[in-house]
Amino acid sequence: MLRLRDLSAVLLLSVLAVPAGAAINSLSAEQFIDTSEISMIDARPLQACLASSVRNALCLPASDFYSQPTGLASFRDISWAFGTAGLTGSQAVLVFADSAHDRDLVAALLHLAGQADVWLWEGRVESLKARVGQAVGRQRGIVRSALYAAPMRDELLALPSELNALVDDGWRVLNVTQTNGGDGDSSLVVVAEDPIDALRGFTRLVALQGDAVKVVVDPVVGVPTSHVRSVSWVGWGLLFVAALVFVGLSRGRRSRS
């Protein structure tokens, strides 16, 4: 069994392996961490967390952050909820759930709210219990037990009205409900008809390629026409340039002959 000092060393190696700029990091079952240095966040339904979770787990169910009619609570309310769980924003957190959708939503909100370091547990909750110990989860309070004071990463949020300008600046709009993910682009704006889906996709992309990813937390149906038009003009422009080059080369050959 790994001792605490060994776990710290493994965590250091894991951090060194994370791509530069990534503030949401994945942790596989082959890696591990010193749980005395990290807050454990159980994103499963509340009753499941209260019945049996990992040692020192905080219950932050993904369902706590749903709101009507937008589908997402306000960030003011989200930050308040984090404070009622005892978070200040300065801690490293490990988010886990048996549902990747629940885990990724809570991780996205923590990252956008300004949490220092966010880790994703990629395995099952039972395997995490076996590694760190089992206990009942702790429900957050009604009032704040800590002031969540982390500066929000609002530069990672985009408005639907900003999409045209972002596309003109070289950002690519990605509808996560219509595609499996990015293709290595350095600048992506994640959208979806359901903001919850957009946030889940945002988590996966930030974990893959760092903070050159923005997200729209308002409903966006389809990929904006500005993006299609931008791609279309680029395509026609390249064809036009290629045609000019071809004509020039052809004339050069005729003149030499």
Token pair of 128, please? 């995490």
Phi, psi of 24 (to 5 degrees): -115, 120
Please report the DSSP string for 151-177 in residue order.
Answer: PP-GGGEE-GGGHHHHHHTT-EEEETT
H-type helices in 71-99, by residue range? 75-84
For 177-205, b/e burial (b = at least 16 CB within 10 A) is: eeeeebeeeeebbbbbeebbbbbbbbbbb
pLDDT at 176: 87
Q: Which residues pair with 57 in a beta bridge?
A: 40
Q: Which single residue is written with the structure tokens 């905080």? A: 58
85-96 pLDDT, tens digit each? 999 999 999 999
Handedness of CA 179, 164, 208, 118 (dihedral sign): negative
Query: What ranges do the domains of the chain cover?
Result: 4-139, 154-230
- Contact call for residues 14 and 27 (beta carbons, < 8 A): yes
Summarised one tens digit per residue, pLDDT across range 153-167 is 999 999 999 999 999
Kindly report the pTM of this predicted structure: 0.78
Q: Distance (Å, rounded) from C-alpha 206 to C-alpha 24?
A: 6
Q: Comparing C-alpha atoms, which of 149, 218, 191, 212 is closest to residue 23?
A: 212
What is the per-residue pLDDT across 191-216, written as a single tens digit (0 to 9) for each? 999 999 999 999 999 998 887 899 99
- Homologous superfamily (CATH) of 4-139 is Rhodanese-like domain (3.40.250.10)
Residues of the chain with pLDDT > 90, as a percent, come to 56
Residue 99 has pLDDT above 70, yes or no: yes
pLDDT at 52 over 70: yes
pLDDT band at 227 (very low <50, low <70, confident <90, very high): low
Q: Which residues 6+ apart lie within 8 Å of 47 measured at CB?
A: none
